[in-house]
Amino acid sequence: MSTLVLLAVTGLGLGALYFLVAAGLSLIYGLMRVLNFAHGAFLTVGGYVGYAVGARFGTATVSWGVFVLMLAAGAATGAVFALLTETVLIRRLYEREIEQVLVTVGLGLATVALVNGGWGSDARVMPAPAWTGRTTDLLGAAVPNDRFVCIGAAIVVLIALLGLLHRTRYGLVIRAGVENRAMVRALGIDVRRSFTAVFVIGGAVAGLGGVLAGLYNSSVSPGMGDSLLIFAFIVVVIGGLGSIVGSAAAAVGVALLQQFVNYYGTTGLGDFTVVLALAAVLLIRPGGLFGRAARA
Amino acid sequence: MTGAEPVLTVRRLDAGIGGQQILHGVEFDVAATGVTALLGRNGVGKTTTARALLGLVRRSGEIRFAGERIDAALTHRIVQRGLGYVPEDREVFAKLTVRENLELATRGGAPHTDLVERLFPELTERADQLAGTLSGGQQQMVALARVLRNDNRLLVVDEPTKGLAPLVVGQVTDALAEAAARVPVLLIEQNLQVVARLARDVVVIAEGRVVHTGPAAEFLSDAARMRELLGVSRAAA
């Protein structure tokens, strides 16, 4: 029983990280048809800036106030990085989707190389509040507290994103644009403004995810974004491109499947099972579990 | 045509989709009042003409709308200048509610909400229903309501009665007649009874070129010309 609980909570924590990457990817692809391969870089840079803010205090454990500051710094960094990416690179390649993919792949590779050059390839220990390093007894299992922080943060982000999408005019334009962006333009709305908005929101959430990934792994490393990005792409496709609820559900499903199969099968089998699940979803429901029918 | 300046003039308009050129030097005017019908067989470029006016397809040539060139303008700017577009196949947002569809379309405070509520009381009743679950006729009402609740200088309406039940065709035609009393309309329509009721002028396209312009009544009573250009006689329509 305690093993089940530990695996489940750890899986949910990992699912939270997948969701924080997948949410932005899904909105960006859904609205703009851009597969943003630089999204992992937003996470990595956000994580490192959060680390750098925490490291200034010179101790391995920091107060909650400092940790919140680290989260804010990570989110702000992700947002600014995403804003520059969209306005400087992506916008110039408007409607040229292959070129947009190529430029994001290049940006992702270059960013990892720069982080490597600046901070080195070794993992850096992430400063965190002391409580997150301890465990809580849950139904007999000693669950590391950082899992709860990741899960809680992802739930807050999910609620905030749903509120934005369903309670504001920005959100209305984004939801309509995901469905049919040409028609949004034909109603007299400059849909490019919401392109910038989803990039900034996606970048902020990924940057926040970078600090939380550092907490979850107890460290930051240059490859952290890309290792999450691969599974986040799978989550986005399974959940349905453009669907935030789909991304959240798929993130939880993928992470739990991965954890349990990796533990009860052999290490690595879980990752393979996730790819099989992806193939099954694509065969049975090509638009994803919560997706719409594919259209131009 | 009336003596007033046309609201829209199109000169030497070329347009295409992908690598294929569909329109070859299209030229016509839309009068400042009443309905101008754009006719032609399937696939001659009527919808492409509408989409070219909106800047939704690659186009070149001269398009003058309410005194200003719009042939290089972005789609949303053209619409903001007062060109309301009701696309073929309606293109309502299936995953948004009726209310959200209308809210999204609102420019400048929706001065004509009352008109829309009077024309389509069903939409008020179904405000919270997802537009994707509406019937084709109700979706057409949403598509029309989106443009009718705003102030426009011209409506471009593409096959509004396509695939609708006869009763709904009547309702949609009534709504268009009421709209046309306030704002000029460029109407693409296959149903010649609807054209006969609404249109004052016709523009006929064949193979991407304008082959006839003139008063609607004259064209619709010329059976030989209609058979030649549209391949139909009025009785068969």
Number of cross-chain residue pairs from A and B with Cβ atoms under 8 Å apart: 56
Report the complex ipTM.
Answer: 0.91
So what's the pLDDT on residue A294?
44
Which residue of chain A comes nearest to B92, CA vs CA? A183
Which residue of chain B comes nearest to A243, CA vs CA? B95
**B156 CB within 8 Å of a chain A CB:** no
Q: CA-CA distances (angstroms) from residue B84 to A262, B42, B48, B215? A: 57, 23, 16, 24
Average pLDDT, chain B: 92
* Record: contact B80-A173, CB cut-off 8 A: no
Show the 3-state SS of B146-166. Answer: HHHCCCCCEEEEECCCCCCCH
Residue A59: how many CB atoms within 10 A of its CB?
11
A2-284 has which CATH code?
1.10.3470
Higher pLDDT, A200 or A296: A200
* Record: contact B79-A191, CB cut-off 8 A: no
Residue B211 pLDDT exceeds 60: yes
Least confident of A244-253, B183-192, B228-237: B228-237
* Record: contact A188-B107, CB cut-off 8 A: yes
**B96 CB within 8 Å of a chain A CB:** yes
Interval B62-105: pLDDT, tens: 999 999 999 999 999 999 999 999 999 999 999 999 999 999 99
Show the 3-state SS of chain A. Answer: CHHHHHHHHHHHHHHHHHHHHHHHHHHHHHHHCCCCCCHHHHHHHHHHHHHHHHHCCCCCECCHHHHHHHHHHHHHHHHHHHHHHHHHHHHHHCCCHHHHHHHHHHHHHHHHHHHHHHHCCCCEECCECHHHHCEEEECCEEEEHHHHHHHHHHHHHHHHHHHHHHHCHHHHHHHHHHHHHHHHHCCCCCHHHHHHHHHHHHHHHHHHHHHHHHHHHCEECCCHHHHHHHHHHHHHHHHCCCCHHHHHHHHHHHHHHHHHHHHHCCCCHHHHHHHHHHHHHHHHCCCCCCCCCCCC
Residue A188 pLDDT exceeds 80: yes
**B58 CB within 8 Å of a chain A CB:** no
Interval A45-85: pLDDT, tens: 999 999 999 999 988 899 999 999 999 999 999 999 999 99
So what's the pLDDT on residue A111?
96
Q: Where are the domains of chain A?
A: 2-284
Chain A positions touching B54 (Cβ under 8 A) are 186
Contact A43, A213 (CB under 8 A): yes
So what's the pLDDT on residue A254?
96
So what's the pLDDT on residue A292?
60
Residue B7 pLDDT exceeds 90: yes
Domains along chain B?
A: 8-94+152-236 (3.40.50.300)
Residue A274 pLDDT exceeds 80: yes
So what's the pLDDT on residue B2?
47
So what's the pLDDT on residue A234?
94
Higher pLDDT, B181 or A267: B181
Chain A positions touching B75 (Cβ under 8 A) are 182, 185-186
- E-state strands within chain B: 8-17, 20-30, 35-39, 58-65, 68-69, 83-86, 154-158, 185-188, 199-206, 209-215
**Closest partner residue to B103 among A172, A179, A182, by Cβ?**
A172
3-state secondary structure of B78: helix
So what's the pLDDT on residue A184?
96
Interval B195-210: pLDDT, tens: 999 999 999 999 999 9
Task: Report pTM.
Answer: 0.88
Chain A positions touching B76 (Cβ under 8 A) are 185, 187-191
Question: Residues B160-177: what's their mean pLDDT?
Answer: 93
Least confident of A155-159, A271-275, A285-289: A285-289
> Would you place residue B233 in the very low, low, confident or very high pLDDT band (cuts 50, 70, 90)?
low
Dihedral sign of CA atoms B119, B125, B128, B129 in order: negative
Percent of chain B whose pLDDT exceeds 90: 83
Percent of chain B whose pLDDT exceeds 70: 96
Which residue of chain A comes nearest to B106, CA vs CA? A187
> Would you place residue B3 in the very low, low, confident or very high pLDDT band (cuts 50, 70, 90)?
low
**Closest partner residue to B105 among A179, A187, A292, by Cβ?**
A187
**B17 CB within 8 Å of a chain A CB:** no
Percent of chain A whose pLDDT exceeds 70: 98
Q: CA-CA distances (angstroms) from residue A38 to A50, A100, A237? A: 19, 10, 17
Residue B15: how many CB atoms within 10 A of its CB?
22
Residue A293 pLDDT exceeds 70: no
Nearest-CA distance B224 → chain A (Å):
38
* Record: contact B93-A183, CB cut-off 8 A: yes
Chain A positions touching B80 (Cβ under 8 A) are 188
> Would you place residue B110 in the very low, low, confident or very high pLDDT band (cuts 50, 70, 90)?
low
Chain A positions touching B94 (Cβ under 8 A) are 179, 292
In eight-state DSSP terms, residue B172 is: H
Q: CA-CA distances (angstroms) from residue B29 to B33, B130, B158, B205? A: 12, 38, 17, 13
Name the residue type at position B144: L
Choose from B57, B78, B95, B102 for mutation: most chain A CBs within 10 A.
Answer: B95
